[in-house]
Amino acid sequence: MRRLFLLVLLAACVPEPPRREFGVDVFSNDTIPAKFIVALGGNLSLAIRSNVLYMQRDSSLVIETPASLIVKAGSGTGTITAYDTTRRIAVTPMNDSPDSADAAVVGTVVRLTRIGEETRLRLTLEKP
């Protein structure tokens, strides 16, 4: 009986494996870092990983590449817009090689869409 109790107690203490993160990585199209802004639609919430980000007076958040946008919850759309329209940004799904040209979307405005509780995002080019 003690062994069964210890086995149940041990099974309850084993931590749940961490959920795999999914989202997008945002890079500059050239070697100079680019700044961009993200506008969200729907109830999509994203976490941001970047070395440089700051808030402007109009409450918009400016992020510098390289950065990662990680989906936390919800569904909807996010529009990633280059702060300087002369610089293009490359958006790739997370955990993909940045050299894979098939998955990268390059332009000044890129839209990401999550429908329902899917664990993948659809990337579309809004403005080259």
Banded model confidence at residue 15, pLDDT cuts 50, 70, 90: confident
The answer for residues whose C-beta is within 8 angstroms of residue 85's C-beta and 6 or more apart is 108
Give the containing element (helix H, strand E) for 104.
Answer: none
Q: What is the pLDDT of residue 74?
A: 92
Taking the alpha carbons of 79, 80, 86, 88 in that order, is the dihedral positive or negative?
Answer: negative
Q: Which of 38-47, 78-87, 91-100, 106-115 has the lowest mean pLDDT?
A: 91-100
Give the containing element (helix H, strand E) for 42.
Answer: strand 35-42
Q: What is the pLDDT of residue 97?
A: 64
Taking the alpha carbons of 124, 120, 115, 41 in that order, is the dihedral positive or negative?
Answer: negative
Banded model confidence at residue 50, pLDDT cuts 50, 70, 90: very high
Q: Give strand pairing partners of 46.
A: 71
| Helices and strands counted in the chain (H then E) | 1, 11
Which amino acid, 95?
A: N
Q: What is the pLDDT of residue 30?
A: 85
Q: What is the pLDDT of residue 3?
A: 78
